[in-house]
């Protein structure tokens, strides 16, 4: 398992390992959606972080923070993306900040 794979949540790792056919189908859909997006890679990764924070899916944050950083996002852009949902989702989005900051600092 590579360093990047260690950033995946344990649930997603189990999904990939225990159900490879489903995982292959899922990842094919993900690739197709990425290819269909009109957003540039950096914007898309930041938007994805905002969605993860709003849905309280903190376990996915570290992996996607590294993707955002690789796409050229700054630390402050990552933090802002997580907090952009404050008006709509409330302060629950702040729960994603510790994982995001740690992942950024360790990447």
Q: Which CATH number fits domain 5-106: 1.20.1250.20, 1.20.1290.10, 3.40.1640.10, 2.40.40.20?
A: 1.20.1290.10
* 35: confidence class by pLDDT, cuts 50, 70, 90: very high
Q: Where are the beta strands (DSSP E) in the chain?
A: none
3-state DSSP helix/strand/coil percent for the chain, to nearest 5? 80, 0, 20
Q: What would the pLDDT profile of 84-101 be if each residue is shown by its tens digit?
A: 999 999 999 999 999 999
- Could you identify the residue written with the tokens 């490879």? 20
Q: What would the pLDDT profile of 45-73 be if each residue is shown by its tens digit?
A: 999 999 999 999 999 999 999 999 999 99
Residues 6 or more apart in contact with residue 56 via CB below 8 angstroms: 92, 95, 96
pLDDT of residue 5 exceeding 90, the answer is no
Q: What would the pLDDT profile of 70-87 be if each residue is shown by its tens digit?
A: 999 999 999 999 999 999
pLDDT of residue 8: 86
Going from N- to C-terminal start, the domains of the chain cover 5-106
């Amino acid at each position: 398992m590579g360093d990047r794979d260690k950033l995946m949540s344990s649930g997603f790792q189990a999904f990939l390992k225990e159900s490879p056919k489903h995982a292959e189908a899922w990842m094919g859909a993900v690739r197709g959606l990425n290819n269909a997006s009109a957003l540039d890679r950096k914007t898309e990764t930041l938007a994805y972080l905002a969605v993860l924070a709003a849905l309280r899916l903190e376990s996915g944050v570290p992996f996607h923070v590294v993707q955002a950083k690789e796409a050229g996002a700054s630390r402050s852009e990552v933090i802002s993306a997580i907090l952009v949902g404050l008006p709509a989702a409330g302060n629950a989005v702040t729960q994603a900040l510790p994982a995001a900051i740690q992942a950024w600092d360790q990447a």
